[in-house]
Structure 1
């Protein structure tokens, strides 16, 4: 059953939480995704079987949370994630960030490193509003964004992505690949070779940029951006176990 958190920002966020023992796991979803997705639900079931605390939630404008997607931004959604973690978890957490959730996890790593026990990135997409959307816009799209405040891009799903001027401008204030990115905890990056949204080069760039002593990148041949097959889900679970086994916050495994 879905519960709701009234965040300090005034936004009402939908979430599902599992109680348990030991270091918890927080799932951070992707752009225009929600907490009812395959990976989020599968990880909740995994956490229940492990007796481990787990949290999944919807950013504002996503899923069951309040707000319009078009009004949101990377900074807003990072604030939502921070509010959910601070209000709904106890102690250090392993962040599992999918696509945009990977970027938001890295923003949080800059803000609350002491509350993060490890990071698992699934097709992590840092800085994609600048290096993906904006860099890929032609002159007409850039002019339309300035004129109309929004452009629409095909998503490959049921509806197009509305890309707002605010999303682009706010994204520039939250870039993580331009400055030192210190991640003093275990990091496991997972990337599919058939990902049509995040390139292998992005995964390698992120790995090279991270300043950390325990960082590993694994490619899954044939996996797409969803990374949701049974084999991919097992890889995610194994990556979380690996992080738990190498973290330094306590004796939990």
Structure 2
């Protein structure tokens, strides 16, 4: 069963979240998805949440402001606003604890959220943005043209990078304590897989990194199934101690 909720965030703006109920919940942490930069809660996130409920996890997927069905403008959205959106969703549903699944830019959200939120028990990151250099091409366009506009008309400008620069992955390295799983395609042309290798080397917590051959930033159906299998196998191992 799934229910859709409007979750208030700030200044009369809300995000839209879908909660999936496990038929028989056997795990305390909920499985909460953070979508990518230009994405939303639909598609693969529904598949991931349905797999989570089949494994006994209650699950939530939601749209960050400026994306999907949420209020707000994409141009006004920042990493800071996405962190506030995630916090609002967790406060609204009030799970006992959470596993954060973050894809691409949602992985960066998950990493920085886990540093400050004791409810986070583990991170699963698919092709995550870790180091800010992954957005250097966007930054160069903003520096040159004043904004970086995408194919669908959405754009970012200086406001995004002024906020972005306040969040260094060094802060995550220094503070992250929860078990972390990173799954990344070796042929990713959007977020370099080398960033994930470097992040995994530097993190001082329990880290598993899986680099999938012949996969780019968008996973094939086969790679997605491998991602889900490894995700829930890893969570089961963590739960068993």
Contact kept? 1:27, 1:95, Cα under 8 Å: yes
RMSD: 2.3
Scaled by the length of structure 2, what TM-score is found? 0.88
Contact kept? 2:142, 2:157, Cα under 8 Å: no
Matched residue, 1:80? 85
Contact kept? 1:26, 1:94, Cα under 8 Å: yes
Matched residue, 1:122? 126
Find the residue that maps to 2:46 and give its secondary structure.
helix
Matched residue, 2:168? 175
Aligned pairs, number: 235
1:1-253 matches, within 5 Å, as: 2-8=4-10, 10-20=12-22, 21=25, 22=27, 23-38=29-44, 40-112=45-117, 114-128=118-132, 131-134=133-136, 137-138=139-140, 141-145=142-146, 150-152=147-149, 159=152, 162-177=155-170, 180-212=173-205, 214-247=206-239
Shift of 1:118: 0.8
Give CA deviations for 1:42-77 in whole Å, capped at 9, x if unaligned. 112212323320010000000000011111111001
Contact kept? 2:100, 2:124, Cα under 8 Å: yes
Contact kept? 1:12, 1:65, Cα under 8 Å: yes
Q: Which runs of 5+ in 1 are unaligned?
A: none
Contact kept? 2:128, 2:191, Cα under 8 Å: yes
Q: Which runs of 5+ in 2 are unaligned?
A: none
Give CA deviations for 1:199-237 in whole Å, capped at 9, x if unaligned. 12111121122121x211110001111224233233234
Shift of 1:90: 1.2
